[in-house]
Amino acid sequence: MKRTIKITALLTSIFMMVSLLSGCGTNSSSQKSTTTTTTTTRNLNIVAPERPEFVDPGDNGSRNNKPLGFQFEKPAVGEDIVVLTTNMGTIRLRLFPDEAPIAVANFLALVKGGYYDTLTFHRVVNNFMIQGGDPLGNGSGGESVWKDSFVIETNENLLNFRGALAMAHSSTGQSNGSQFFIVQNPKVAEADVKDKGFSAEVINMYRAKGGSPVLDTAYTVFGQAFAADLKVVDAIAALQVKNTEKPSKTITIISAKVEKYDGK
């Protein structure tokens, strides 16, 4: 019996990873690629900042010097946050430029340039994630502010807990562009953390916070949605979807703005 359980858990994890490689992930049979091209329908005058240099976390321990769970802390008053105003409510996002400088620089530049305004959350998977940022609205488009893709930035203490903001990419891995997702899963299955090599601290935090540990090390986590706004994420994730995991109701990002956190 124990062997059967372990084999089932292993097969589940393998299926999830194959699905994730074709998008930011799915828990259904639908597999649509994301950010596979640099095609865009957004003819905007966006100012591209200098691309930060990639630093392997193994070569620079300072990128991992914050304690596990720091991503749930509130931003400092006056800190830049991103506010997504959708037709189902507002989602505020704290960003982590020290831990994922390339992803954050890209996201902020696209936000400031109006890239995400009027785009949609084109893919939702309840108890997993919601995904947006594709100008084509089908998971195959989008590009970075530098017009090419960029690498995955990982951090051992910045993980795919519930509310994590991360870059979506195609099966090539190092293909981050404009698409992003917000982890929604409220409860982690034991099979996703048991005997997976996670520390006891990580396992306990996943049990307490929820999330999708199968995504760890494969996607760049670069922000965190405010806990109070996860009700909006949940409402979007709960929508009825079509076979392509596209919600039956269009979820529009009316605007994406950089604002100063006011402490509320």
Task: Sketch out the chain's domains with CATH numbers.
Answer: 2-42+66-260 (2.40.100.10)
Q: What is the pLDDT of residue 38?
A: 42
| Cα–Cα distance measured from residue 60 to residue 44, given in angstroms and rounded to the nearest whole number | 36
List the pLDDT tens digit at each of the 264 positions of the chain. Answer: 433 434 444 444 444 444 443 456 434 333 333 333 344 556 688 989 999 998 776 655 556 679 999 999 999 999 999 999 999 999 999 999 999 999 999 999 999 999 999 999 999 999 999 999 999 999 999 999 999 999 999 999 999 999 999 999 987 768 999 999 999 999 999 999 999 999 999 999 999 999 999 999 999 999 999 999 999 999 999 999 988 899 999 999 999 999 999 998
Q: What DSSP string runs through 82-138?
A: EEEEETTEEEEEEE-TTT-HHHHHHHHHHHHTTTTTT-B--EEETTTEEEE--TTSS
Q: What is the pLDDT of residue 14?
A: 42
Q: What is the pLDDT of residue 16?
A: 45
Q: What is the pLDDT of residue 22?
A: 43
CA–CA distance from 45 to each of 42, 112, 115, 145, 153 (Å)?
9, 10, 9, 10, 27
Q: What is the pLDDT of residue 54?
A: 87
Q: What is the pLDDT of residue 5?
A: 36
Type of residue found at 255: S
Q: What is the pLDDT of residue 55?
A: 78
Q: What is the pLDDT of residue 65?
A: 79
Closest by Cα among 105, 89, 130 to 52: 105
Q: What is the pLDDT of residue 17?
A: 43
**What's the distance, CA 61 to chain centroid?**
23
Label residues 187-219 b or e (16+ Cβ within 10 Å = b).
Answer: ebeeebbeeeebeeebbebbeebbbbbbbbebb
| CA atoms lying within 13 Å on the CB side of residue 215 | 35
Closest by Cα among 122, 129, 126, 127 to 252: 122
Contact criterion met (CB below 8 Å) for 52 and 105? yes
Q: What is the pLDDT of residue 63?
A: 64
Contact criterion met (CB below 8 Å) for 84 and 91? yes
Closest by Cα among 239, 129, 137, 229 to 178: 137
Q: What is the pLDDT of residue 34?
A: 34
